[in-house]
Amino acid sequence: MIRWMSVAVVVSSVAGCSSTTNPASDTSPPETVTAAPTATTFAGVWRCVTPSLEFIRLTVASTSSEIGVLASRLTFSGVAWEGTGRIQGDSFVSSMAVVGYSKATAVMVARTGDGGTLSVQMRPAAGATTAMSFVREY
């Protein structure tokens, strides 16, 4: 009987000192929880700050016709692209077409960056992807 009590005391002591029950001994970094972006994260007028691509504007606004859909307009080099899209994960993804054409020929993917910037990739169906950085116009 004394032997079983000794074993129980040893097992309890070991279990009480294990790292799984002692949060102070946990050395893993704390998990950071980031909020999912909303329409207000992307909505507004944005100015391109990529040095080789001056005078580019991006406008994003909610549409009144469908909840969760955002309208976008990207203008550069005398060409305007328009489209609609939704927030998917951490990005705003929009099918884009040159104004005057009904068929989308590119996909625009926008993600929020550090310091309130917006990283945008314009991915045409044919051709190279263009990467741009934007800051909000006030």
Tens digit of each residue's pLDDT (9 = 90 or more) over 5-37: 343 333 334 344 444 444 444 455 545 546 778
Cβ atoms of 10 and 2 within 8 Å: the answer is no
Range of the domain at 79: 39-136
For the record, the structure tokens of 137 come out as 């116009």
Residue 86 lies in a domain: yes
Residue 88 lies in a domain: yes
Residue 11 lies in a domain: no
Cβ atoms of 69 and 63 within 8 Å: the answer is yes
25 forms beta bridges with none
Tens digit of each residue's pLDDT (9 = 90 or more) over 48-77: 999 887 789 999 999 877 788 999 999 987
* pTM for the full predicted model: 0.70
